[in-house]
C-alpha cells in the first residue's frame, strides 16, 4: 500500500502548520511511529538511540571526540533547564543575554533554582549591544556561563551567537545557546559558532514528533560538571550523560515512538541535505513575506534582523479584525497560524518550519485572504 493511501484510509488529513513548532511532518515520519511493541531496554533500541545521538552531533558539524548529544524525554524547555541547572559551578554567576521570551525563560529557570545571574535585558525588537555584553563580562569575573537564544521564536529575532560566544570565551565563561528553533534548519557549526552547548527538540527543525529533546555539547565540560552542585534529579545533564555512556540507555523511560519517528526524520534530513533544506525554509520564508506585504501587513521587527524562520506580523488597525475568527477559518481549512508573544502588541506569527514548501504558503494566502474578506477586513490592511 502506498503511504498516501494509508493516510487516506486512516482519514489523516495533511495540515500545514505555520506555528513555531511542532512542525508539519511527512507521512513517512508519522508512520514510522507504528512499530512492534518493544521494551526500550532491549539492545536493539539502544542502538537506535546511539545512531540518533551520533547524527545529532553531526548535524552541527561537531567532532564526535569532543561533542556528544544527551537525550531527554520532555519538551524543549527541559534542555534549557538541564543546561543551566547543571553547568553553573558553585558560587559562580550566569549571564543571560535577554531580548525575548525564550531568554527570559532561562532567567526564570535561574530564579527557580535560586542561581545568581545577571539579566542583561535589551529591547525585543533590536540586536543586542555587544559592547554592553562585554562590559558586563569585564566587570563580573565570576560569570561562568553565558546563555542566549539563537532565534527568539516570539519575534523571530536572530541573535549574533558567534560574537556573543567569542566574548564569553574571551572572559573564560562557557556559552550555552537555545537553538531550539534553528537547529537542523539554519546551518550551525558548533565549534565555529563558539557554542559549547546547543539544544533542540525533535518536533521543530528535525520535523519529527514531540517528546524527545536533546543537548549537544562538550563532553569535557559535562564531565567537569560531575562535581558541580546537583540541583535537579530528573534534569541533570551529567547524570543523564553518564547513564547513557555506561548503559546505552536513557536513565528513565524514553519516548519510544518519537524515537522511531526521529530515526526516520534523520534519514530524511540527510536525504534532503543541510543546504537544500535551508534553501527550502528560506523559500517558504520569502513566500510568507511576499504574501504579508501584498496584503499590506506590517512587520514587528525589520526583515534584516529576522532569523528566516519566524515572521511576526502586527495586527491591522481595523475594527473588524479578530485573530480568533481568522485563525479558525484557516484552521478548518488545514492551515494553522499562531498568536504573538510580545506583551502589549497585537501580533501573530507565520513560520517557515516543517515539511512545507512555497506552494503550501501560496495555498495558505488564498485561504487567509478569503478569511479577511469573510470578516469584512479591509484589504490591503491598514496600520
Ligand atoms: C520551542 C522552543 C523552546 C521549547 O519550548 P517547549 O514549550 O518546551 O516545547 C525553547 N526555546 C525556543 C527558542 C523555542 O522556540
List the 310-314 sheet strands across, edge first: 310-314, 347-351, 338-339
Residue numbers in the chain where pLDDT is lower than 50: none
Q: What is the pLDDT of residue 84?
A: 98
Q: Identify the residues whose C-beta falls under 6 Å from ligand 1.
A: 20-21, 75-77, 102, 149, 153, 178, 180-181, 201
Select from 21, 99, 157 the residue to mutate for testing ligand 1; criterion: most ligand atoms less than 8 Å from CB. Answer: 21
Fold of 35-270: 3.40.640
* Domains 3-23+273-374 and 35-270 agree in fold: no
- For the CA of 181, the closest atom of ligand 1 is 15
Q: What is the CATH number of domain 3-23+273-374?
A: 3.90.1150.10
Select from 77, 80, 151, 182 the residue to mutate for testing ligand 1; criterion: most ligand atoms less than 8 Å from CB. Answer: 77
Are 23 and 17 in contact, with CB atoms under 8 Å apart?
A: yes
Alpha carbon of 112 to ligand 1 centroid (Å)? 18
For residue 59, cis peptide bond before it (omega within 30 degrees of 0): no
Q: What is the pLDDT of residue 216?
A: 99
- For the CA of 80, the closest atom of ligand 1 is 10
Q: Tell me the domain boundaries of the chain.
A: 3-23+273-374, 35-270
Q: What is the pLDDT of residue 352?
A: 98
Residues 6+ apart with CB under 8 A from 8: none
- For the CA of 151, the closest atom of ligand 1 is 13
Alpha carbon of 94 to ligand 1 centroid (Å)? 20
pTM of the model: 0.97
Q: What is the pLDDT of residue 342?
A: 81
Are 315 and 323 in contact, with CB atoms under 8 Å apart?
A: yes
Within 10 angstroms of residue 66's Cβ, the number of other Cβ atoms is: 13
Select from 102, 156, 200 the residue to mutate for testing ligand 1; criterion: most ligand atoms less than 8 Å from CB. Answer: 102
Amino acid at each position: 500500500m502506498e503511504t498516501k493511501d494509508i493516510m487516506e484510509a486512516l482519514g489523516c488529513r495533511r495540515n500545514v502548520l505555520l506555528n513555531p513548532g511542532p512542525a508539519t511532518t511527512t507521512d513517512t515520519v508519522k508512520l514510522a511511529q507504528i512499530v512492534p511493541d518493544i521494551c526500550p531496554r532491549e539492545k536493539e533500541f539502544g542502538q537506535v538511540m546511539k545512531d540518533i545521538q551520533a547524527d545529532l552531533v553531526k548535524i552541527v558539524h561537531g567532532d564526535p571526540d569532543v561533542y556528544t548529544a544527551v537525550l531527554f524525554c520532555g519538551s524543549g524547555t527541559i534542555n534549557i533547564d538541564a543546561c543551566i541547572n547543571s553547568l553553573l559551578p558553585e558560587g559562580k554567576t550566569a549571564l543571560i543575554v535577554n531580548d525575548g521570551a525564550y531568554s527570559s525563560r532561562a532567567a526564570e529557570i535561574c530564579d527557580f533554582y535560586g542561581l545568581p545571574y545577571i539579566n542583561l535585558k535589551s529591547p525585543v525588537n533590536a540586536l543586542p549591544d555587544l559592547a554592553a555584553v562585554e562590559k558586563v563580562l569585564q566587570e563580573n569575573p565570576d560569570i561562568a556561563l553565558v546563555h542566549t537564544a539563537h532565534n527568539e521564536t516570539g519575534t523571530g529575532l536572530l541573535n549574533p551567537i558567534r560574537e556573543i560566544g567569542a566574548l564569553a570565551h574571551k572572559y573564560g565563561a562557557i556559552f550555552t545557546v537555545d537553538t531550539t528553533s534553528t537547529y537542523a534548519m539554519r546551518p550551525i557549526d558548533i565549534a565555529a559558532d563558539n557554542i559549547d552547548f546547543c539544544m533542540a527538540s525533535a518536533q521543530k527543525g528535525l520535523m519529527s514528533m514531540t517528546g524527545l529533546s536533546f543537548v549537544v555539547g562538550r563532553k569535557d565540560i559535562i564531565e567537569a560538571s560531575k562535581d558541580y552542585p546537583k540541583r535537579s534529579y530528573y534534569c541533570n545533564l551529567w547524570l543523564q550523560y553518564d547513564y547513557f555512556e555506561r548503559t546505552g540507555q536513557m536513565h528513565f523511560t524514553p519516548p519510544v515512538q518519537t524515537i522511531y519517528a526521529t530515526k526516520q526524520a534523520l534519514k530524511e534530513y540527510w536525504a534532503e541535505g543541510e543546504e537544500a533544506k535551508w534553501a527550502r525554509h528560506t523559500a517558504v520564508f520569502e513566500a510568507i513575506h511576499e504574501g504579508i506585504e501584498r496584503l499590506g501587513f506590517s512587520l514587528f521587527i525589520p526583515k534584516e534582523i529576522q532569523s528566516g524562520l519566524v515572521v511576526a506580523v502586527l495586527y491591522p488597525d481595523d475594527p473588524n479584525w479578530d485573530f480568533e475568527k481568522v485563525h479558525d477559518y484557516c484552521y478548518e481549512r488545514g492551515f494553522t497560524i499562531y498568536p504573538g508573544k510580545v506583551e502589549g502588541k497585537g501580533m501573530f506569527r507565520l513560520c517557515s518550519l516543517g515539511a512545507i514548501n512555497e506552494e503550501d504558503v501560496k495555498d495558505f494566502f488564498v485561504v487567509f485572504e478569503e478569511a479577511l474578506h469573510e470578516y469584512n477586513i479591509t484589504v490591503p490592511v491598514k496600520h
